[in-house]
């Protein structure tokens, strides 16, 4: 109903309700610009604050790894249940129809330079520049960071260069914790690695689940998404996913435990239900078993 100033019901204008400018739903990113926040909102669902990224960038150093022999056949079938594609420039441009990326975020792998033929994987370069990331409509750039490895400093320099370029254009960066062969995957190491990546200025960190993961998530001032790591039984992978979310992960950037699953379509839906609907791992495993029979 119009009042004396002709303004309709105050409710419709939110008059008296403070505009939300504080407490952006992505941890530690409240002070970034509009564009950065818009891209982060495509990745992290504003309702759940979480993200399900499907990682299929493995070929950049592993080649046609099991389950990814044909990206064009495997990845599109999962699109309805993911929030974000995480792939390489070549993998996406050759195998992913840009039309299916509508309403999905794009996380672009921008580092490379190592292969499984190397003893040490840490000697990487930034192989995709900011101009290409903009051309690819990237919402996030991902680069590997090797804390404690021979080329640690070079990988941190790569990270910093990607962050600087990304900040210039409002594209967030994800630092990917790469666990060197000698590194022990424990909370102490992950607290160190994730915090270094965040302090260099990454807006997102990808790491791994571990015992005491809550201490890792709590001491990292930006969101952590967890990689799934090597394929494990679906029940265990769903339990890991649930525990990680329970202990503060902002989602997953999972690859092998989805695309190497006996039923990737059932698995991605079960993972999604944990990440966004908050079901527990038992419910998720029941869901997986029910879906795979269909
Ligand atoms: C490869 C990566 C992958 O993106 C990351 O490990 C996630 O994939 P997965 O769940 O299969 O571990 O960084 O280097």
What is the CA(176)–ligand 1 centre distance, in A?
A: 9
Query: pLDDT at position 182, please?
Result: 75
Query: pLDDT at position 23, please?
Result: 83
Query: pLDDT at position 10, please?
Result: 45
Query: pLDDT at position 18, please?
Result: 52
| Residue in 95, 84, 30 with CA at minimum distance from that of residue 52 | 84
Query: pLDDT at position 16, please?
Result: 52
- Counting as low any pLDDT under 50, the low residues of the chain are 1-8, 10, 13-15, 19, 21
Mutate which of 180, 227, 254, 260 for ligand 1 pocket (most atoms within 8 A of beta carbon):
227
With a 6 Å cutoff on the Cβ, whether 228 touches ligand 1 is yes
Query: pLDDT at position 20, please?
Result: 54
Query: pLDDT at position 11, please?
Result: 57
Mutate which of 176, 230, 232, 257 for ligand 1 pocket (most atoms within 8 A of beta carbon):
176
With a 6 Å cutoff on the Cβ, whether 140 touches ligand 1 is no
With a 6 Å cutoff on the Cβ, whether 176 touches ligand 1 is yes
Ordered by start, the domain boundaries in the chain are 32-293
Q: Whose CA is nearest to atom 12 of ligand 1?
A: 229
Mutate which of 56, 57, 122 for ligand 1 pocket (most atoms within 8 A of beta carbon):
57
Query: pLDDT at position 143, please?
Result: 98
The neighbour count for residue 192, using CB atoms within 10 Å, is: 16
Per DSSP, the three-state class of 124 is: coil
Query: pLDDT at position 293, please?
Result: 86
> What are the backbone angles phi and psi of residue 148, rounded to the nearest 5°?
90, 0
Query: Distance between the two ends of the chain, CA-based, in angstroms?
Result: 53
Task: Indicate the pTM of the whole model.
Answer: 0.92
Q: Which atom of ligand 1 is nearest to the CA of 144?
A: 13
Query: Which residues belong to the active site?
Result: 206
Distance CA 28, CA 194 (A): 14
Query: How would you class 16 by CB atoms within 10 Å of its CB: exposed for 0-12, middle for 13-18, buried for 19 or more?
Result: exposed
What is the CA(166)–ligand 1 centre distance, in A?
A: 22
Query: pLDDT at position 140, please?
Result: 98
Query: pLDDT at position 19, please?
Result: 47
With a 6 Å cutoff on the Cβ, whether 227 touches ligand 1 is yes
What is the CA(229)–ligand 1 centre distance, in A?
A: 6
Query: pLDDT at position 264, please?
Result: 98
Q: Whose CA is nearest to atom 7 of ligand 1?
A: 227
Residue 109 region by backbone torsions, left for phi larger than 0, else alpha for psi between -120 and 50, else beta: beta
Q: Whose CA is nearest to atom 2 of ligand 1?
A: 58
The CATH code belonging to domain 32-293 is 3.20.20.70
Query: How would you class 79 by CB atoms within 10 Å of its CB: exposed for 0-12, middle for 13-18, buried for 19 or more?
Result: middle
With a 6 Å cutoff on the Cβ, whether 109 touches ligand 1 is no
Report yes or no: 217 and 22 within 8 Å, Cβ to Cβ: no
With a 6 Å cutoff on the Cβ, whether 124 touches ligand 1 is no
Distance CA 227, CA 208 (A): 5
Length of the chain: 294
CA angle 106, 230, 186 (to 5 degrees): 95
DSSP3 helix / strand / coil % (the chain, rounded to 5): 45, 15, 40
The neighbour count for residue 168, using CB atoms within 10 Å, is: 9
Cα 64 vs. chain centroid, distance in angstroms? 21
Per DSSP, the three-state class of 132 is: helix
Per DSSP, the three-state class of 117 is: coil
């Amino acid at each position: 109903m119009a009042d004396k100033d002709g303004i309709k019901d105050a409710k419709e204008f939110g008059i008296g309700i403070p505009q939300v400018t504080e407490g952006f739903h992505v941890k530690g990113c409240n002070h970034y610009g509009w564009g950065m926040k818009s891209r982060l909102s495509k990745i992290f669902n504003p309702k759940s604050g979480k993200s399900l990224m499907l990682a299929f960038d493995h070929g950049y150093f592993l080649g046609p790894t099991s389950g990814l022999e044909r990206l064009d056949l495997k990845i599109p079938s999962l699109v309805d249940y993911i929030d974000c594609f995480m792939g390489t420039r070549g993998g996406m441009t050759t195998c992913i129809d840009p039309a299916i990326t509508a309403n999905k975020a794009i996380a672009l792998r921008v580092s490379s330079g190592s292969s499984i033929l190397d003893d040490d994987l840490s000697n990487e370069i930034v192989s995709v520049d900011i101009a290409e990331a903009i051309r690819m409509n990237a919402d996030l750039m991902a680069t590997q960071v090797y804390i404690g490895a021979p080329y640690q400093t070079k990988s941190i320099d790569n990270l910093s260069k990607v962050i600087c370029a990304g900040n210039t254009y409002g594209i967030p960066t994800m630092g990917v914790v790469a666990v060197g062969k000698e590194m022990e995957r424990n909370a102490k190491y992950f607290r160190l690695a994730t915090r270094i990546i965040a302090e260099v200025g990454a807006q997102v960190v990808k790491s791994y689940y571990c015992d005491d993961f809550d201490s890792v998530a709590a001491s990292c001032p930006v969101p952590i998404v967890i990689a799934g790591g090597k394929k494990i039984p679906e029940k265990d992978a769903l339990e890991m996913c649930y525990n990680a979310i329970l202990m503060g992960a902002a989602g997953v950037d999972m690859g092998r435990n989805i695309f190497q699953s006996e039923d990737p379509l059932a698995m991605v839906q079960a993972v999604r239900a944990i990440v966004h609907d908050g079901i527990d791992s038992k419910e998720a495993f029941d869901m997986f078993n029910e879906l795979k029979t269909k």
